[in-house]
Structure 1
Amino acid sequence: MKKNSCLPAFIAAALICSAATSTPIVLAQDGDVATQRRAAIASPFPTGEIIVKYKSPEKFRVLDAAATQMAASAAGRDVAPLHTLTAEAMRTLSAQAGVALTHVREMSGEGHVLRLPQPLPYDEVELITKRLEQLDEVEYASPSGRRFIALTPNDSLYGQQWHYVAPAPGNYGANLPAAWDITTGAASLVVSVIDTGILFDHPDLAGRTVPGYDFITNVFIANDGNGRDPDASDPGDWSTSSDPCGASPSSWHGTHVAGTIGAATNNSTGVAGINWVSKILPVRALGRCGGTDADIIDGMRWSAGLSVPGVPANANPARVINMSLGGSGSCTSALQNAVNAVIDAGSALVVAAGNSNAPAIGFAPGNCNNVITVAATNRNGNKATYSNYGSIVEISAPGGESGSDGVLSTLNAGTTTPAAHNYMFYKGTSMAAPHVAGIVSLMLSVNALLTPEQVLSLLQTTATPFPSGSTCNTTNCGAGIVNAAAAVQAAQGSSGPPTSPRAYVPIAVKQTAPPGGGGGNLVNGDFEQGPSVGWTISSNYPSECLICDRDNLPSVGPHGGDWAAWFGGVNNENASLKQTVTIPAGAPYLGFWHVIASNDFCGDNYDVARIKVNGTDVRKINLCSTTHNPNWTKTSVNLSAYAGQSVLLELTVKTDSSIVSSWLVDDLAFQATP
């Protein structure tokens, strides 16, 4: 179901569970799962920071010697130099933004984090960044949005890790035992976990890490009394009822994720990890009430061995990066640039699809190009009830359901600060993603020459098919359920370029009926015959309805009857409805009812609807704050120039990457007068 709001929001995209208790093994209780997309995006999470990058960064920055020295002191060793923006640059940016901006810090990729006077709703911050992008010297400006936590071993609890077993009816695991017969990992390989930090002294994680870093700059989010430093341990991410995200106990989320990837294995203790040998690089970017894009982006680049101003060089670059995190909204330019840099450095990025039972295209960073987006399945090989889905999902992995049907891994009993170490069943795409990340690390252990593109291709071509009758298929859950043994075996013999380039959200054209029934007057102009009659539908969101019934429309509903056309509602849409019609000589005006819901800028580079005849615009409608009208309104288009002719009639919408707009259309008919 599409969004029914033109404003983006950020929601928890990974973890669904209750707090751990002091018992050694704890069953997670059912959490609240957003089952409708409109519920998932209802409450925008404000942000007070933006990211700006100049086309020629060196022209607008100066060395900040004091900040560099302070960062080096906190790190205890040399760091990459820090720069600040010139006073003139800050004056220009503030004037263009319409608010006083404060420079916070230089970040990786030559971007700069700027602070607003106070946090604002996300859509208002998007408007500010769009104003900044109108400056010729600015390459991009993005909100720094908030993201949230989405051989047979002899380990004593291994028998409860159903999610590792060979796939079979009623128990569709990831097939680890046969993979371990080939490899248990390589000592030279590192896997990064960008998360809440890790409890290093957990008995199943002790000695399994290399030195990481805490990238959280905001002291409130950090929850440890300081900002960035080399201590990537998890102090707890609990919050209270007075905090903006509400009350929540500590999740120990990063510890659970790390245990799936690399808990000490074959040690007669606790659980088994997927990779027994390779080390984990803990990167702390999430804390109380989540984390910011700016911190996450720096953590991504640093994980891959790229330079981050004010931070020591990473001596142990990771070939695999797990990101069990996300939030609703588009993949911003800042996020996509970071993804591209990481992939170019040779690191594979594995991202949780999210837990809102909604199209994954609406959640970042899983909707960024070139990441491996992972949905969650249950024991029976069905889509987990909470898992996001859609054409951008590459593959699925066990994410579990309630209780012992969840994913068992390392945890802690503390509801605030750390207490007794334990193990717990969690469910979520946060649990599915590290299965894939761990398996990718095994693949790279047998073939270090694999590129991220080859890794994805092998994962998909070796995946276990979804069982007959599954609620998952290759349209909504990716290529199948990850199969460790098949993927590792294929990696051993793989060489050369990827077998096929990645097609990310390909344009899909669905032929619903001969256009217009072979000519004649408008067919199904009121859409009451559903999507299968009269219209040819084209959309790059094939899982979304374009001709929608009342249950799948925003709250305004259809104008008449039970059906209407809904364009937009998501970012980066390119969609159309077409049919061949004969324009009546005595009724050459095309009348229709429509709704425009938008808070976007006006202009051809933003969100635009068009009505075309034979490929030529006969009406252009900017979907923006000026044209916004949330009520059904009647209008018409004069087509008298085509009277008596058979023509191709087309309704199209193209939306940009931010500030969602919607255009609803209903009850099209030819009429004699305007």
Structure 2
Amino acid sequence: MKKTRVVHLLIALLLALSLLPAAAPAQAQAAPAVPEGEFVPGELVIGFDASVKVVMGQATALAGSVDAQVVKVFDQTAVISFDPAADVTAVAARLAGQPGVRFVEPNYVRRLPEQLLTSAEPFQLKEVDRKLPNKQKLTVEELLSMRTVKRTGGKVQVIPTYPNDEFENWGNSWIGHDIIWPEKKMSPVVCVIDTGVDINHPDLKGRAINGYDFVNDDKIADDHYGHGTHVAGTIAAKANNGMGPAGISNGKVLAVKVLSDQGWGTSADIAAGIRYCANNKAVKVLNLSLGGSEGSAVEYDALHLAVNQGKFVAMAAGNASTSEMHYPAAFASPLSVPPVGSVDDGGANTIHEGMVSVGAIASEETWVDMDGNGIDDDGEYFEGCAAYFSNYGAWVEIVAPGEDIFSTIPVSYPSVLGQYMMGSDAAYLNGTSMATPHVAAAAARVWSLDKKLTNADVEGILMDSGRPVILAVDPNVVDPTVGSSDSGYLGEMPFCWPFADVPFTAAEDMENAVELDLAAAMGRGALTVFPYDAVTGLPLAGAQVAAVDAVTNKVMDIAAVEPPFYTFPAVDLINLPVGPYNARVKAKGYTAGWQPAAMDLFATPGVFESNSAEHFLVIPPAGDFQVVSQWDWWNFFDELDSYLWLPDATPFIVGPEKYDGIMYPNNPYSEVGAMWEFPFARYQRFDEEDLQTWEVLSIKRAGAKVKLPGDYQVLFTDNGDGTLLNQWIKVTAWFNGKVIGGVVRDFTADACDPLLTEAWWHAGTVNGKTFTAVDACGTDAIWPYIIP
């Protein structure tokens, strides 16, 4: 099981702290004792209503009444400190109900969700599914070899399609960042409320800026732990510099330190940090990868301010593998109850719109024993399941990659993670803390396209565009509230994601949760196409392929076909607004400028479309009259043979086989005119499966003159099979490198009923330099000349 692949960060911390040099602590903050309970002994947080005009004066008076002193004041909030041995509950009771006091509560301890550091062999992305023929996948090496054509300063450049660090974090491609990464519209600032950020990290310099340190009360939010820097890298690390990952957002992060260098903080400091970000006009998104088990009024009120200031807030759901609510993330759900004394005390949660709670997806497929028989049967392995540590339940709204996430850690000064990783500038970490910045960065990207969106709009877009989570459970689960800690399940996990099926209840039901899809949220899709030489069947090296908006006729992206070639000569056309597209091809020695190569392509939200025959761009060498026929690649075991028939004259053509009635001895028309079979270019490449489903006919010139006598009839047969002709077939006619006509057999049209019952189709007529389509859907009366 996956639990064996990680070590608790607590062990890592103990080891790292033991390795810190003696001088290192002097460069960081003094290390106070970490509270063992859920709140800081001897401290209370007091919230005042708007009638209190001088908070410091009122707080001082109240503190004096219980032999305490004021240690912090912000907005309508004060923190008082007294004897740590005193009964916090009793002191709070004495202060509650005093004039102007809205709430009194403990200063709750917030810790980083118990993250887990990956082992020495974390998951690394090696291939990406593009739904290719024969279930092939494209490797990262193939993806990094792809090329895109860009025009910069009047010059045409051929550059890599993807940054060299795009696939370092598998989460990027999982959420569709590889589709949208070239988008130049700038994302707004994301506030990282955490342990601070190493703003001088080479991968973050210029992308991360100091905000405030609420732990040490200064303006330098250094990160001597490492967690905040890791979060910041997922959001905003520089792309294409070969260091760490490529950040998901192209904007900046603002570092706000609310957690100590030991990875813990207080609800008061976190609330102060939230308010700081809420009041910053440049900030649109807040990232909170922290939390605890108790809801806090001071945090709720701070989030109330942030939401009402129009900020979007992403919060980690926690790493206890439980359905119990984790705060402040649970406040993103309308199922949560506003804390006593908060602005919504006694009423409904009014702040859940514009905030999301984030669960974590596992990096590899998971076995869920759905029939409970202890055997890993077919259909029981799923991708996109809960990471074994992730919290879950009806209150968790969106899930994102959170296991084996590769990102930046501090290098400018000593840090806990830096010491453990022995000076590395990046590390693999696990946690809902790592999932949350994927969502925060996605929100920033969505906002970059339309600055008029509200935070509720952004949440709606992320939720509506997300993929439904996979619902699957093991019936042997004993306690549905304890996740991977349960003793009953027999597979790798008690669920992929749970739903209300016994023994799970509505409290654990994830039916309404979605999986983050950034590209879909931005209304972007992509096309993967495969350019080939129609005669040789080899990759069309040197060609360029353009994605052209079928409505506006605008070129949206251009890819270059360059070696090395692997399984397929694939090129990606990316960051395409959703809608219909045509593909054009330009290749020296093949086309006379740009020529249409494919119609009816469609950029689907969040998807690399690649699994239709239209995505195979089959281009013949320039010269003479040529007809290329294509059919669906999944019929590679069947042959669709193409013929050229001249009933009334001797044609000036060259063909490898003259039709002489031997193949079809019962055909009464075999003695009429002359028929030649098309030469074809198809190669057995995968276990004798013919993956190149096309044929090519060339009508040669009569001497030096372009003279083609008579009307040549373009015919197709599936050799009596009767099924292949009832599939998609495309015919394209070329003359001297230009497309002059074509026809697609639309077997789905009403006019094509009933389907062909015989094995011939008359597609069109060739005469001179023209091609005329005859029949778009086939007919039983296939022969144009009837013999008495």
Q: What's the TM-score, normalizing by structure 1?
A: 0.52
Please give the alpha-carbon distance, in whole angstroms, between the structure 1 residues aligned to 2:161 and 2:207.
17
Give the counterpart of 2:402 among 390, 399, 403. Answer: 399
AA partner of residue 297 (structure 1): A
* Counterpart in the other structure of 1:104: 71
Question: In the TM superposition, what whole-angstrom CA distance separates every residue of 1:593-612 from its partner, at most 9, and x where no partner exists?
Answer: xxxxxxxxxxxxxxxxxxxx
Q: Bigger relative contact order, structure 1 or 2, given CA contacts below 8 A and separation 6+?
A: 1
1:289/1:446 CA distance change after superposition, 3 Å: closer
AA partner of residue 344 (structure 1): N
Is the 2:524–2:577 contact (alpha carbons within 8 Å) kept by the matching residues of 1? yes
Give the counterpart of 2:172 among 140, 148, 164. Answer: 164
Give the counterpart of 1:229 among 212, 215, 218. Answer: 218
* Counterpart in the other structure of 1:58: 52
* Counterpart in the other structure of 2:361: 377
The reply to whether residue 454 of structure 1 matches residue 463 of structure 2 is: no
- Give the superposition deviation at 1:194: 0.5
Is the 1:102–1:116 contact (alpha carbons within 8 Å) kept by the matching residues of 2? yes
Question: In the TM superposition, what whole-angstrom CA distance separates every residue of 1:471-513 from its partner, at most 9, and x where no partner exists?
Answer: 215623852210001111299999xxxxxxxxxxxxxxxxxxx
Please give the alpha-carbon distance, in whole angstroms, between the structure 2 residues aligned to 1:153 and 1:18.
38
Please give the alpha-carbon distance, in whole angstroms, between the structure 1 residues aligned to 2:203 and 2:231.
12
1:456/1:421 CA distance change after superposition, 3 Å: same
Question: In the TM superposition, what whole-angstrom CA distance separates every residue of 1:286-337 from its partner, at most 9, and x where no partner exists?
Answer: 11251111111111111122xxxxxxxx5x53100000001111x2221111
1:423/1:119 CA distance change after superposition, 3 Å: farther
Please give the alpha-carbon distance, in whole angstroms, between the structure 2 residues aligned to 1:266 and 1:423.
15
* Counterpart in the other structure of 1:519: none
Highest CA radius of gyration, 1 or 2? 2
Please give the alpha-carbon distance, in whole angstroms, between the structure 1 residues aligned to 2:166 and 2:417.
27
1:385/1:132 CA distance change after superposition, 3 Å: same
1:161/1:91 CA distance change after superposition, 3 Å: closer
Is the 1:53–1:139 contact (alpha carbons within 8 Å) kept by the matching residues of 2? yes
Is the 2:197–2:229 contact (alpha carbons within 8 Å) kept by the matching residues of 1? yes
Secondary structure of 1:272 counterpart: coil
The reply to whether residue 444 of structure 1 matches residue 408 of structure 2 is: no
- Give the superposition deviation at 1:190: 0.7
Is the 2:315–2:328 contact (alpha carbons within 8 Å) kept by the matching residues of 1? no
Is the 1:19–1:415 contact (alpha carbons within 8 Å) kept by the matching residues of 2? no
Please give the alpha-carbon distance, in whole angstroms, between the structure 2 residues aligned to 1:233 and 1:286.
11
1:19/1:362 CA distance change after superposition, 3 Å: closer
Is the 2:199–2:210 contact (alpha carbons within 8 Å) kept by the matching residues of 1? no
* Counterpart in the other structure of 2:588: none
Secondary structure of 2:46 counterpart: strand
The reply to whether residue 354 of structure 1 matches residue 355 of structure 2 is: no
Please give the alpha-carbon distance, in whole angstroms, between the structure 2 residues aligned to 1:207 and 1:17.
34
1:415/1:201 CA distance change after superposition, 3 Å: closer
Please give the alpha-carbon distance, in whole angstroms, between the structure 2 residues aligned to 1:393 and 1:158.
28
Please give the alpha-carbon distance, in whole angstroms, between the structure 1 residues aligned to 2:456 and 2:248.
22
AA partner of residue 489 (structure 1): G
Question: In the TM superposition, what whole-angstrom CA distance separates every residue of 1:572-614 from its partner, at most 9, and x where no partner exists?
Answer: xxxxxxxxxxxxxxxxxxxxxxxxxxxxxxxxxxxxxxxxxxx
- Equivalent residues in 2 for 1:104-123, closer than 5 Å: 104-108=71-75, 110-118=76-84
The number of equivalent residue pairs is: 382
AA partner of residue 470 (structure 2): P
Please give the alpha-carbon distance, in whole angstroms, between the structure 2 residues aligned to 1:363 and 1:233.
25
Secondary structure of 1:145 counterpart: strand
* Counterpart in the other structure of 1:575: none
Is the 2:360–2:390 contact (alpha carbons within 8 Å) kept by the matching residues of 1? yes
- Give the superposition deviation at 1:87: 5.2
Is the 2:290–2:315 contact (alpha carbons within 8 Å) kept by the matching residues of 1? yes
Please give the alpha-carbon distance, in whole angstroms, between the structure 2 residues aligned to 1:490 and 1:131.
58
Question: In the TM superposition, what whole-angstrom CA distance separates every residue of 1:61-101 from its partner, at most 9, and x where no partner exists?
Answer: 4xxxxxxxxxxxxxxxxxxxxx4436544344x2xxxxx22
Please give the alpha-carbon distance, in whole angstroms, between the structure 2 residues aligned to 1:195 and 1:233.
10
Please give the alpha-carbon distance, in whole angstroms, between the structure 1 residues aligned to 2:185 and 2:275.
24
Secondary structure of 2:72 counterpart: strand
- Give the superposition deviation at 1:230: 0.9
Larger relative strand fraction: 2
AA partner of residue 429 (structure 2): Y
Secondary structure of 1:357 counterpart: coil
Is the 1:155–1:271 contact (alpha carbons within 8 Å) kept by the matching residues of 2? no
Please give the alpha-carbon distance, in whole angstroms, between the structure 1 residues aligned to 2:255 and 2:213.
8
* Counterpart in the other structure of 1:409: 407
Please give the alpha-carbon distance, in whole angstroms, between the structure 2 residues aligned to 1:20 and 1:91.
40
Please give the alpha-carbon distance, in whole angstroms, between the structure 2 residues aligned to 1:357 and 1:472.
12
Please give the alpha-carbon distance, in whole angstroms, between the structure 1 residues aligned to 2:219 and 2:577.
39
* Counterpart in the other structure of 1:487: 521
Please give the alpha-carbon distance, in whole angstroms, between the structure 2 residues aligned to 1:341 and 1:201.
31
Please give the alpha-carbon distance, in whole angstroms, between the structure 1 residues aligned to 2:321 and 2:297.
26
AA partner of residue 253 (structure 1): H
Please give the alpha-carbon distance, in whole angstroms, between the structure 1 residues aligned to 2:400 and 2:105.
32
Please give the alpha-carbon distance, in whole angstroms, between the structure 2 residues aligned to 1:443 and 1:137.
42
AA partner of residue 385 (structure 2): N
Give the counterpart of 2:111 among 145, 148, 161. Answer: 148
Please give the alpha-carbon distance, in whole angstroms, between the structure 1 residues aligned to 2:15 and 2:402.
21
Secondary structure of 2:463 counterpart: helix
Give the counterpart of 1:476 among 510, 535, 538. Answer: 510
Please give the alpha-carbon distance, in whole angstroms, between the structure 2 residues aligned to 1:431 and 1:478.
22
The answer for unaligned runs of 5 or more in structure 1 is: 1-13, 23-40, 62-82, 95-99, 166-172, 217-226, 238-251, 306-313, 401-405, 495-674
- Equivalent residues in 2 for 1:522-671, closer than 5 Å: none
- Give the superposition deviation at 1:128: 3.6
Is the 1:47–1:145 contact (alpha carbons within 8 Å) kept by the matching residues of 2? no
Identity %: 29
Please give the alpha-carbon distance, in whole angstroms, between the structure 1 residues aligned to 2:59 and 2:398.
46
- Give the superposition deviation at 1:355: 0.5
AA partner of residue 111 (structure 1): T
* Counterpart in the other structure of 1:132: 95
The reply to whether residue 90 of structure 1 matches residue 63 of structure 2 is: yes
- Give the superposition deviation at 1:102: 1.1
Is the 1:15–1:149 contact (alpha carbons within 8 Å) kept by the matching residues of 2? no
Secondary structure of 1:374 counterpart: strand
Is the 1:49–1:143 contact (alpha carbons within 8 Å) kept by the matching residues of 2? yes
- Give the superposition deviation at 1:353: 0.3
* Counterpart in the other structure of 1:259: 233
* Counterpart in the other structure of 2:701: none
1:45/1:333 CA distance change after superposition, 3 Å: closer
The reply to whether residue 320 of structure 1 matches residue 285 of structure 2 is: yes
Secondary structure of 1:363 counterpart: coil
1:320/1:280 CA distance change after superposition, 3 Å: same
The reply to whether residue 186 of structure 1 matches residue 209 of structure 2 is: no
1:163/1:19 CA distance change after superposition, 3 Å: farther
Q: What's the TM-score, normalizing by structure 2?
A: 0.45
AA partner of residue 434 (structure 1): P
- Give the superposition deviation at 1:418: 5.9
* Counterpart in the other structure of 2:27: none
- Give the superposition deviation at 1:52: 1.0
- Give the superposition deviation at 1:134: 2.8
AA partner of residue 49 (structure 1): E
* Counterpart in the other structure of 1:290: 264
1:193/1:42 CA distance change after superposition, 3 Å: closer
Question: In the TM superposition, what whole-angstrom CA distance separates every residue of 1:418-466 from its partner, at most 9, and x where no partner exists?
Answer: 6734211100000000000000000011111221212211111111122
Is the 2:13–2:416 contact (alpha carbons within 8 Å) kept by the matching residues of 1? no
1:493/1:393 CA distance change after superposition, 3 Å: farther
Please give the alpha-carbon distance, in whole angstroms, between the structure 2 residues aligned to 1:266 and 1:304.
32
Secondary structure of 2:301 counterpart: helix
Is the 1:191–1:318 contact (alpha carbons within 8 Å) kept by the matching residues of 2? yes
Please give the alpha-carbon distance, in whole angstroms, between the structure 2 residues aligned to 1:205 and 1:21.
27
The answer for unaligned runs of 5 or more in structure 2 is: 1-7, 17-34, 114-147, 149-159, 333-350, 364-382, 473-494, 500-508, 526-575, 579-788
Secondary structure of 1:302 counterpart: helix
